[in-house]
Structure formats: C-alpha cells, structure tokens
Structure 1
C-alpha cells in the first residue's frame, strides 16, 4: 500500500517518504524492508528507544511522538492512536463493513459474547467472535493470543470476517485493550457492561482507575446513536448508568436507575439450571436454561438486552435454552464414576464467590475447591480469594496456578491468611497432585470445583510455558475414554 494512502486521515507533521508499506508494527523485532514502525511508550519500554534498530532493519517510515532526527520520520500526537488508524487503513477499514458489539467487565465476557453470537445466528445473521478462548469467523476457529488483539491482528481478523460474509463482529473488550487504545477509531453499535470486581490492579493500581478505563467504551468511543446495556445489579454498573442515562439497564433486581430496565425475575435455580421471567416496558416472556447459578442468569439477561437493542424479538431467545456453556466456564467434566467435577476460569474473589455460591445452592453434600493465584499479578487479591473459598467450600485445596516468575510457595503463603476460617485446608504446590488428592476425597454427592485455569491448557513456571490441562488430568485419573 502506498504510504500516502496508508496515512489517509492520520494527522502527522513532517515529510512522508515515498514508497510502499508492507507491514505496520510497534514491535522493532518485526521490522523489515517495507515496514512502518510506530513508536509508543509502554509500561516498561519506550518504542522510541528501538526506532533506529527498526530503521536499520529496513523500515520505510518511522512514526514518532517526539523528534528523533531519523530518516523517513514523521511525528504524531499519539503513537497508539496512529497505530490503530494505520492498521485500519492497511486492511481497507474492514470494521466499517461490520456491525460491532463490544462486551466489557471483569467476569462473564466470554459467556455473553458466545451467547450473543448464537442469538444473532438464530436470527439469520452471520457473525464473527473475538474473545479469550478463540476467534470464530463464521464456523471457523482461530486460536486467541489476547482477549482483545492488537490493532494489526484485530483488523486482519475483521478483514477475514468480511470475506467470510459476516455482517456482525462480537468481541470482548479488555481493560488493557481500552487503556492501550487498541480499539481507537472503531465504531461500536452496542456496548455491554457486565460487572466490575477486583482484578488487574497490578496494571490499573486502583478500582477507580480500573473503572475509568472500562467506562471509556461508553463515554469516549460511542457514536450518537450507540446503544448500551449495563448491569444495574453491580455497584459500578449503577455508577456507569448515572453517566449513561440512555442505556438499557438489566438486572435480577426489580428497581433501576434508568427509565428502561430489563428485569429478570428468577423463578427457580438449581442443578437443572435456571428458569426466568423477563419484564420490559409491559412485555413479559420466559426462558429456561441449563446454565447454573445467578451469575449465569445475569449473563443471560445481558445477552437479551443486547439483542433487544439490536431489534431482535424475544421469540429468538429460545435458542439460549439449548446452550450448555463455554469451555472452562463451570464446565462439567463427564466421567465413568459419575463424580460431579467442574472446571472454571474463576480467578478473582468475586468470580470464585459466584461459582461456589452456584454449586452450594445446587444442593451438593460437600463442595471441594482446588485453586491457586497467578504469579506476578495483583497480590492484594490473594487472601481475598482464600476468604471466598473458605466461606463457600467444605474443603479448600490450595495449589499453584501460573506462578510465572514468582516462587510458588511464596504465592501460597500470601493466600493462607484468607483461609483461616476454612473448615479443612489441604496445601499441595503441585497442581496435578493437588487435583488427584481432591478427586480421591470426592463422594458421589459432592462437587469438586477446579478453579483458575478454565480453558487454558498450560502452566507458566519461571517464564516457561508447560502443557497442562485440568480437564485432561481429571480424565486421565478417572480413566475417561
């Protein structure tokens, strides 16, 4: 692509060199002949320090936020914004050919986006999905590297969705992506807020900062007619509703701040799933789902709120009744012994509480929980996770998650103060051994929750990624075919 075309609509100063762009990147290691290298400051590195290296590798243009005196250099106010716009231009602005839906929040994003895609398809639309587990382009799966990809990868995916005939793209919008402006310049038709609980404070430093970043999806990126669906049961959601008076609120509680409120009356919830009656502006309809727990009832409400905002009638919601769940989200691991074993991605105090409350409310005799905390992440949530497990479990089995570069034993020591009130505690640093110990103590009427990794099939120990799957360990030990 000609550089003049690539920079169309991108404000810059300096003289743009002549030539063709073959790649746009922020990673100097990817720089090559024909590359456009964009400098931006990160948390630990500054791309400006690597600009000369990119130029030596053959970069045809260097985009900077301050003068470096390099050949082929142009300057912009924000490297991150410029990078997002250049990537959109390079792929022909494919997002403009799609109706975009973004879901943000600490918990529930993967389930909600998956269900939105299913509902759209039930209504006869072709939709793509971008999320934590994978990307779906119509019926094709693409492995996911990040919850919300970098602009180059994101626009490449949008382009493939357009070629596949998709008219919608449903995506998870992570707080890091919003903070790093990966979604800059995109126009979303609907934005969804699920909840906000303690997570990623190693990155955001405070809940207030975390909230402000999430709120960007609703306050900085919308077009005038953008639709918004916000969880009114969540305290941060209620605060967001004060800032977004036109949003459709949803919740399991009847009262709401906004005039338009989708109330989900929970008629029953147990091992068989949940039965809900929805109320909105005088209309009523019912839904039965095999998904367990009040948190999943909230996820179902979020999906219906989005669909209603997009003009889809409640008759299409019947497709939700056949949905049995997402991989690693309260996933039941079937086994010949008939033991009740569940794997879930819960890795925050609130997510653990939600999942354990769902299992406790389902009527199991005992609940055994295997869990750990990730290394090189927010240490303050570790005892809080222990408290959640102690509060709702009969047996707490403390083990490793992804230690990364931390010593596993040190992480366990951070968690133990939160387990002071636990009925029974087992400490086993090796996750496989801990899971097997938990399986051995499980009775027919008990439930085992293995929390933290969900769909992940690896452990990171001293920076090295090792293959590891909770589901595989369970199946191997219980001799599942």
Structure 2
C-alpha cells in the first residue's frame, strides 16, 4: 500500500517518503523487508528505543513522536498510538464504517452486557459480532480472546472479518488500557455504555481520576451514551460527556430508565423497566441487584439502537447468562457451587451481597489476588470477603512472576480485621478440594476471580486450569460435605505459613 494511502487522514509532522508499505507493526519481532515500524510507548518499554534495530531488520521507515536522526526514514507524528490505529484502519479499508459499533466500558459488567446486547440484536435478526474478554465472535464463528480490547492491527482485522461476513453490528468491551492507548482511534460508536468505576488497574493508571478520564474518553467517540446513574462516576459522565446521554438506575427516579418492583430469587431476578411513556416487565435468569443493573444497561443500549422494548425484554428472558459470570456449576450436591469472574473489591462485594439474599446456609468464598496487578486492592478484597462471607479460603489466582505467598501476605491484613474464620491454602487445586470437603447442606461456595478462565499463569508458564473440570474431578474422587463435628471448633490454629496452610477453623 502506498504511504499516501496508509496515512490518509493521519496527522503528520514531517513529509511522507514515496514508498510502498509491505507490512505495518509495532513489534520488532514482526518486522520484515518493507515494513513500517511504529514506535509505541508501552508500560515497560518504549518503541523509540528499538527504531534503529527495526531498520536493521529491513523496515522501510519508522514512525515516531520525536526526532531520532534517521533522516528520510523517519515519519514524525504527534501521537504514535493514534497514528498506528488510524493506519491499521486504513490498511483494512476502514471496516468500522461498514458496521454499527456498540462499546461498553466500566470496571464490572462489561462482558455480561456485551453478550446480552449481542444476543438481543441477533434475536431481532441482525447479524452481530462481538469482541470481549471471553471470546471474539465474527458473527457465528468464535474463538477465545487474548485481550479485552486487542491491539489495533488485530482489532481492525477482526472488524474487517465481521464486515466481510455480513455483520451489521459489532458489540465490544472497551478497556481503559485500550482507550488510553487509543487502540480504537478511528472508530465512531453508535452507542457507548458505562457500567461503573471501582478500584482496579491503578498499577497502570496511577490514580482513580486518570482511570476515570480514560473510561470517559469513550464518549468523545460516541453518538449517544447509556450511563449508570447509581455510580458516582456515572453521574459525572452524565454531566461531562460531549454526546447525548440516557441514564439508568435501580433506585433513582431521576434516571431516564428506572427499575421498579425488583424481585431477587435464587434462580434469577425480575423487575419493571420504566421510562418516559414506556414500561415492560423483565425476567432475567441471573440473581442479584447487579444483574438487574446489567440488564438495564443492555436494554438502554438496545433502545438507543432503535430496538423495540417489548421484543428486547422478551429476548433477555431467554438468555442463559455468560460462562463464568455467576455460573452455577452442576454438582449434584446438597450445596451450591458458583464460579464468577469477581476479581475487584466492588465485584466481590456485589456478588456476596447477591448470594446473601438467596443462600439458606453459609457462604464460603474462595479467591486469590492476581500477581503483577494493582497491589493496593488486595487488602480491600480480603476485607470485604471477610466482612460479607461466613468463611474465606485465600489462595492463588494467576500469581504470574510474583511469589504466591507474598501476594497472600499483602492480602492477609484484611482477614485479620475480622473474626471470620479462614483458611490460607496457596495451591488453588488443593484449596478447592478443601473447600468442597467443608461444605454442608444449604451452603454456597463461591469460586471467585477466574470465572471463564481455563488456565493458571505461574512464574514458569501457563497451565490448564478449568474450575468446572476441577470441581467435577474432585467430586468424582469422593469429596463430600462434612458434619459439624468433623470440622472441629472455632479456635485459631495455624500450620506452617511458607508453602503450607494457615487456618482459623470453621
């Protein structure tokens, strides 16, 4: 492709060389003869430091934000993140212009809401693609996702495949990282949805305000927005967004759409969706007030797209939920086992509150804190778990390059603020077996943090780890509920901390 076509509409600060681009990339490992290399400033590395190497590997030119004394072989731009995304869009013929885009952002709820919107649109006869945390759906062909919002080259390739497959819509989760790094530059969203904002990703953004500004930037790319009025940051977006906004709430009549007569049950929830001149009764097969909020967001987005309210709510009633999102595992036991992706303080609080309303016995939560992620949220997670559950099993969750026991030590102070009994078992497989063996009739065991994931990321590599399979295997081996006498009393007993387990008994 001629550079003049590749850079069409892309701001530049230097003349474009007259040459053909054989390939574009921001990764020196992908550089080949005739490539255009984009110098991207990353979280740990700066692509400008690898510009000379890219030229040695055969790159025809490098795109940079500052002069590198490379003569005509450098193309200077104000922002390489934006330039890369816009060039990727041009490379694939701007497929975003052949689709109606729906973007969902926020800390929690993105995956559920995007799936619900996709399911409604498909149910109404519109071929729809999806890009998200769990999977990428090209309008009928699905494959596992690696990142919530892919890099621009992958992202625009996916949109091109959707458009070529005849999709009318593309519904996507838009992460704060993706927005901050301008991976979706060049897109115009028919609708943007904001769920909420709670502590997460501060290792990257630094402050909640920076995190918020990244999320809010989605609405500068939208024709319309649907925003959660129950969230304080959502209320800010209502005031600050540059596009028209419709708000939703589970409690506030000042919202454009309000949930009334909410009923929460173990098998789901129901409510009246009320707006100006409209009302519909909604039955949704996932329990919890957070599920009502997710359903409200999906309905609001579909209305913004011109969908009929009654048809939309009828299709939601037939939804089967999302794998790993408040998913009840089939165990055949007198207690309930649920797996959920809750991996932030807010998500843990919401899912435990939902379980409290429908659990007859005790609630046991098993979770860990991810390695190489925001360390500040660890103690908040254990604090909420110990406050809202009847028993806590603290274990590992993708420790990555960190020492699993150090992660646990970072999180442990939150447990010690409460008298809630707990067990610390670093090995997640062993921890699940221990938790299953201590469940009784009427209890609920929540496996939190991994949700749909079928792997565990360890220091020396990634292993297969699917909690549905783990639970089934352990139960097949004869793990069963124990009696109160078998479980002992409530005195504090501790084992060897390093590599062993610590326990305040059940």
TM-score w.r.t. length of structure 2: 0.91
Query: 1:177 corresponds to which residue?
Result: 178
1:336 aligns with 2:332: yes
Matches within 5 A, 1:455-470: 455-462=452-459, 464-470=461-467
Decide which moves more: 183-192 or 265-274: 265-274
Question: CA separation in 2, counterparts of 1:7 and 1:243?
Answer: 32
Query: 2:85 corresponds to which residue?
Result: 84
Matches within 5 A, 1:283-432: 283-317=278-312, 318-337=314-333, 339-420=335-416, 421-432=418-429
Q: Which runs of 5+ in 1 are unaligned?
A: none
Q: CA deviation at 1:461?
A: 1.6
Query: 1:65 corresponds to which residue?
Result: 65
Query: 2:5 corresponds to which residue?
Result: 5
**In the alignment, is the contact (CA less than 8 A) between 1:386 and 1:415 conserved in 2?**
yes
Matches within 5 A, 1:15-26: 15-26=15-26
**In the alignment, is the contact (CA less than 8 A) between 2:63 and 2:74 conserved in 1?**
yes
**In the alignment, is the contact (CA less than 8 A) between 1:270 and 1:363 conserved in 2?**
no
Q: Which runs of 5+ in 2 are unaligned?
A: 478-506
Q: CA deviation at 1:139?
A: 1.0
Question: CA separation in 2, counterparts of 1:22 and 1:334?
Answer: 52
Deviations 1:1-42 (A, max 9, x none): 222211222222444334332321111111111211011222
Deviations 1:75-102 (A, max 9, x none): 1111111101100000000001000000
Q: CA deviation at 1:416?
A: 1.4
TM-score w.r.t. length of structure 1: 0.96
Cα root mean square deviation, aligned: 1.4
**In the alignment, is the contact (CA less than 8 A) between 2:334 and 2:442 conserved in 1?**
no
Deviations 1:298-318 (A, max 9, x none): 000000000111111112220
Deviations 1:423-458 (A, max 9, x none): 210110110000000000112311100001111111
**In the alignment, is the contact (CA less than 8 A) between 2:230 and 2:252 conserved in 1?**
no
Q: CA deviation at 1:154?
A: 0.3
Q: How many residues align?
A: 473
After the TM superposition, which segments of 4 or more aligned residues of structure 1 sit over 6 Å from their partners? none
1:247 aligns with 2:242: no
**In the alignment, is the contact (CA less than 8 A) between 1:263 and 1:279 conserved in 2?**
yes
Query: 1:119 corresponds to which residue?
Result: 120
Decide which moves more: 460-469 or 24-33: 460-469
Question: CA separation in 1, counterparts of 2:121 and 2:297?
Answer: 14
Matches within 5 A, 1:115-194: 115-194=116-195
**In the alignment, is the contact (CA less than 8 A) between 2:188 and 2:221 conserved in 1?**
yes
Question: CA separation in 2, counterparts of 1:264 and 1:309?
Answer: 17
Question: CA separation in 1, counterparts of 2:34 and 2:471?
Answer: 50
Q: CA deviation at 1:319?
A: 0.9
**In the alignment, is the contact (CA less than 8 A) between 1:16 and 1:72 conserved in 2?**
no
Distance 1:422-1:176 versus aligned 2 partners, 3 A rule: farther
Q: CA deviation at 1:54?
A: 1.0
Question: CA separation in 2, counterparts of 1:364 and 1:156?
Answer: 49
Question: CA separation in 2, counterparts of 1:57 and 1:298?
Answer: 51
Q: CA deviation at 1:479?
A: 2.4
Query: 2:42 corresponds to which residue?
Result: 42
**In the alignment, is the contact (CA less than 8 A) between 2:13 and 2:78 conserved in 1?**
no
